[in-house]
Amino acid sequence: MCMACEQGDQERIWQLVEIISTGQMPAGHTADELRAMGLPLPGEVYREEQPDGTILIKQRSPAEIEALRAKNTPKNTFVCDTPT
C-alpha cells in the first residue's frame, strides 16, 4: 500500500473512532465489521475534555462496560399472579 493510501486509511479509521467515542454507531457499519477492523463498539470508549480543551478518547475497562450494560438493560418486572 502506498503512503498516501495508508494515511487515508488511518484517517478514515480515526474518524470512525471519533464517531464511536460519542456513543453513536458509524453509519453503514455493523458491530461485526467494527470488530473485524479491531475497533471498539459505542460505549466501550468515551471522550474526556481536559482543562486546556484537549479531547482525550479513553477506553473503558471490561468491568465498566459490563456495569453499563447491566445498568441499561431493562429489568423484567412482569410477575405472574396466576395460581399454578
Q: What is the pLDDT of residues 47-83, one digit of tens each?
A: 999 999 999 999 988 888 888 777 877 777 677 777 7
| Burial per residue of 9-36, b for 16 or more beta-carbon CB atoms within 10 angstroms, e otherwise | eeeeeeebeeebbeeeebeeeeeeebee
- What letter represents residue 38's amino acid? G
Q: Taking residues 14-43, what's their average pLDDT? A: 92
C-alpha cell at 38: 479491531
| DSSP assignment of 1-54 | --HHHHHHHHHHHHHHHHHHHTT-PPTT--HHHHHHTTPPPTTSEEEEE-TTS-
- Does 22 or 65 have the greater pLDDT score? 22
Is the pTM above the cut of 0.85? Answer: no
| Confidence bin at 84 (pLDDT 50/70/90) | low
